[in-house]
Amino acid sequence: MMQWMLAAKARVGLWATDLAQAPDEWHAWADALLLSLMGGTGVRAITYCLILLLVGGSAEWLYWTYAYAPLRALHARVARSAREALRLGLRRLVLLCGGVLLFTAATIASSAGLSWPEGVHEAVVAVTLWLMVVRLCWALVDVLLAPGRSARRLVPVRTRDVPWLAVMAVLVALLGSAARFLPELFEQIGDAPHSAGVLRLVLATLTALLLLVGSFAFFGQSGRGASVRSRLPAFPRSFLVAAMVVMAYAVWLLGSAAVSTITIVLVVVVVLQMVLRGAVFFFWSERWNPPRGVAAPVGPDDIPQQSLLPHIVLSATRFSVVVLGLGACAIALDTPITELATHQGPLVRFAFSLLGVAALALLTHLVWIAIRTTIDQRLAHIGPIDPHGDPNPQARLLTLLPLLRMTSAAALGVMLLLSSLWAVGIEITPLLAGAGVLGLALGFGAQALVRDVIAGIFFLAEDAFRVGEYIESGTTTKGTVERITLRTVALRHHNGPLHFVPYGALGTVRNNSRDWVIEKFNLPLPIDVDSETVRKLIKKVGEAMLQDEEVGHLLREPLKGKLSRIDPGVKVFRCKFETTPGKQFDVRAQAIKRLEAALKAAGIGFADGRQVVVLQRMDDPVQVVGAVAG
């Protein structure tokens, strides 16, 4: 810590020295430049610069002679989707950058063939590269933001913010590239290191101020505001971005150039990781309205169907950003790229280990995306189970697929953790042995939990019940299966309560929703009816129901009936039919309704339910003296 404070103090002293001695250097450098321009050397340098502008401009003019027609065609074409707009934008970007790169290449190549005064050639190359960076930035802004042409805009930015954002992006590129190229000219040509330091400080400070203004102006709340599930307000991303900008500027101001470059690279990587998700999913959304532009960010919820490709693109893009950031850090440290593989430094080895962990995380994430997307698509295709609807033959998949998804997530997480520890050089064999011992101890200490999990595995393997089926357990708990986890099953009682029953407590399971059910009911008729006539009438009603479109498809066997018993004054006929589970109540209501109509048409009424009691006196052998209602 003390060394860092001493280094920061020395850095501040250097800035103070630059500020104190820069005016004198500036006046001396300006006088020397004025004398050079007034002499023959200056006239020759200006002439060469005009020649270079003529050569570069001619090359670019020749390029646009052939490229302007395709560019106009791309401008006239209207995109029907975000991805088509992206493809058109990339083509425009290639055409725009082609002209800039051709101008830069022609200018630098022509400058190599001229005899320049000392130091002027380096200045011309630096200024040419500076202009190239600014023009490339403007081409990128023109393609992404499309100022004044909202139909071609590729980023979800409000129309009123586009001009300011475009101007700020170009200014940041202008000042940042100037801070990279111009101070070196003062050091190499004018021999003015203090003036170069002051110029670098001014340009870097202005760039940081612009980035601070942009972070508060264009970065809103994180995501779409506070989460629905969270009661805490969302932390604004603008403060986070501003804090990273201030940190990068402070490190550059008080630390070394390499450390400041690494900090800036890390800030850029973090900011890109923050915006990549919305940017990638934006191009897989159907929310595309070219005439008005796009004003609101989109996410995975805006995609109409689950797609595997955007998740893969997002993961690959994030991994590529991390790799490019590590490469930029290696360049900032002046580490030879060709010697990294043989370099034995601990920092380099740790960096390669982190790169390996990132690759493992990317691979695991891609596998998880493939598994999750496949399962989600299958579940969406199956749809929810309706307990009162027709039986779904794929209900078993609806039961097992969520468990498979949860198990796959846990297995991939454990594998990633162990592989990451092995990649960074940590021996995992003792960890596996310790995990085995710990698992054994937990197994003995949580026997009920282990019993529930094992019982659940066997219940699911034997297909004892599925989601949407009505079951009764040995503990008198019954209801419709709504959810299945690794330890419990959620049963919704027909009166409303939801019971969570551990598998170990289920006992004997009675499944009332599997295959078929036989429903029986009694039909009380008067004692004097003809039994055969009633049997045939019931059979005729059953055949009519079998041919009916409303209930015929629900019957597995038609309605039948026969005389079951004879009570005093009543003949009881037993009726039965075989139907789909859960539909027996509706079919029974239809059967009773039709039987009532058929009996009424045949002149047969239901028994009144009274019993005639015969009392015999000793002096009168047979005499009815009364009737008692049954």
Whether 474 shows a pLDDT value over 50: the answer reads yes
With beta carbons less than 8 A apart as the criterion, state whether 571 and 525 touch: yes
**472 and 590 co-located in one domain:** no
- pLDDT, one tens digit per residue, over 126-145 is 888 888 989 999 998 888 88
**480 and 538 co-located in one domain:** no
- pLDDT-derived band of residue 291, with 50, 70 and 90 as boundaries? very low
CATH code assigned at 592: 3.30.70.100
- pLDDT-derived band of residue 629, with 50, 70 and 90 as boundaries? very low
Cα distances (Å, whole numbers) of residue 305 to 37, 285, 370, 378: 67, 10, 14, 12
Pairing mode, if any, of strands 488-492 and 555-567?
unpaired
With beta carbons less than 8 A apart as the criterion, state whether 168 and 210 touch: yes
**Residue 203, both tokens:** 């340009």
With beta carbons less than 8 A apart as the criterion, state whether 571 and 524 touch: yes
Whether 61 shows a pLDDT value over 90: the answer reads yes
Q: How far apart are CA 466 and CA 481, in angstroms?
A: 7
**507 and 549 co-located in one domain:** no
- pLDDT-derived band of residue 87, with 50, 70 and 90 as boundaries? confident
Residue identified by tokens 């930035």 is 137
Instruction: Provide mean pLDDT across the span 264-291.
Output: 70
| Residue 468, Ramachandran bin (φ over 0: left; ψ between -120 and 50: alpha; else beta) | left
* β-sheet bridge partners, residue 560: 576
Q: How far apart are CA 623 and CA 630, in angstroms?
A: 20
**Residue 491, both tokens:** 């049963």
582 falls within a domain: yes
Sorted by sequence, the CB contacts under 8 Å of residue 541 that are 6+ apart come out as 559, 591, 594, 595, 598
Which candidate, 465, 517, 515, places its Cα nearest to that of 490?
A: 465
Displacement of CA 383 from its chain's centroid (Å) = 21
Highest-confidence segment of 209-223, 226-240, 593-607? 593-607
**563 and 472 co-located in one domain:** no
| Residue 582, Ramachandran bin (φ over 0: left; ψ between -120 and 50: alpha; else beta) | left
Q: How far apart are CA 379 and CA 330, in angstroms?
A: 46
- At 576, which helix (H) or strand (E)? strand 570-579
Whether 549 shows a pLDDT value over 80: the answer reads yes
Residue scoring higher pLDDT (620 or 17): 17
248 falls within a domain: yes
CATH code assigned at 486: 2.30.30.60
Whether 594 shows a pLDDT value over 60: the answer reads yes
What letter would DSSP give residue 464?
Answer: -
Sorted by sequence, the CB contacts under 8 Å of residue 33 that are 6+ apart come out as 190
Q: How far apart are CA 25 and CA 250, in angstroms?
A: 27
Which candidate, 522, 526, 556, places its Cα nearest to that of 542?
A: 556
**Residue 481, both tokens:** 């299966």
Instruction: Provide mean pLDDT across the span 50-73.
Output: 89
405 falls within a domain: no
Instruction: Provide mean pLDDT across the span 440-446.
Output: 60
**85 and 28 co-located in one domain:** yes
**Residue 309, both tokens:** 């490709």
Specify the range with the lowest mean pLDDT, choosing from 169-173, 476-480, 605-609. 605-609
589 falls within a domain: yes
Alpha helices of 284-394 — where are they, by DSSP H? Answer: 308-332, 346-382
Whether 331 shows a pLDDT value over 90: the answer reads no
Instruction: Provide mean pLDDT across the span 26-34.
Output: 70
- pLDDT-derived band of residue 296, with 50, 70 and 90 as boundaries? very low
Instruction: Provide mean pLDDT across the span 16-22.
Output: 77
Residue scoring higher pLDDT (432 or 602): 602
Q: How far apart are CA 511 and CA 473, in angstroms?
A: 9
Specify the range with the lowest mean pLDDT, choosing from 36-50, 82-96, 399-413. 36-50
Whether 153 shows a pLDDT value over 80: the answer reads no
Give residue 224's pLDDT: 42
**509 and 556 co-located in one domain:** no
20 falls within a domain: yes
**129 and 25 co-located in one domain:** yes
Three-class secondary structure assignment of 120-131: HHHHHHHHHHHH
Residue identified by tokens 């586009």 is 162
Specify the range with the lowest mean pLDDT, choosing from 159-168, 293-302, 313-322, 346-355. 293-302
Instruction: Provide mean pLDDT across the span 360-386.
Output: 75
**450 and 580 co-located in one domain:** no
Q: How far apart are CA 308 and CA 495, in angstroms?
A: 41
Give residue 102's pLDDT: 92
Dihedral sign for Cα 613, 619, 623, 628, please.
Answer: negative
**Residue 176, both tokens:** 């940042």
410 falls within a domain: no
295 falls within a domain: no
Mean pLDDT of the chain: 76
Domain that holds residue 495: 446-514
304 falls within a domain: no
Q: How far apart are CA 525 and CA 158, in angstroms?
A: 80
- pTM beyond 0.75, yes or no: no
Residue scoring higher pLDDT (183 or 107): 107
Whether 343 shows a pLDDT value over 60: the answer reads no
**162 and 210 co-located in one domain:** yes
Q: How far apart are CA 324 and CA 303, in angstroms?
A: 29
> What's the one-letter identity of residue 554?
L
Give residue 394's pLDDT: 61
Report the Cα–Cα distance between both ends of the chain, in Å, rounded. Answer: 102
Instruction: Provide mean pLDDT across the span 31-43.
Output: 66
Which candidate, 291, 295, 293, 311, places its Cα nearest to that of 303?
A: 311
Q: How far apart are CA 602 and CA 168, in angstroms?
A: 93
Q: Interhelix angle for 346-382 vs 395-423, to 10°?
A: 180
Whether 305 shows a pLDDT value over 50: the answer reads no
- pLDDT, one tens digit per residue, over 246-256 is 887 887 777 66
What letter would DSSP give residue 611?
Answer: B
Residue scoring higher pLDDT (53 or 79): 53
Q: How far apart are CA 50 and CA 35, in angstroms?
A: 20
**473 and 583 co-located in one domain:** no
**508 and 523 co-located in one domain:** no
Q: How far apart are CA 590 and CA 598, in angstroms?
A: 12
* β-sheet bridge partners, residue 611: 628
Give residue 609's pLDDT: 55
Number of other residues whose CB lies within 10 A of the CB of residue 195: 24
Give residue 346's pLDDT: 64
Q: C-alpha angle 215/221/224, rounded to 5°?
A: 140
**152 and 181 co-located in one domain:** yes
Number of other residues whose CB lies within 10 A of the CB of residue 571: 20
Give residue 299's pLDDT: 44
**Residue 332, both tokens:** 């900032």
Domain count, the chain: 3
Specify the range with the lowest mean pLDDT, choosing from 236-240, 287-291, 530-534. 287-291
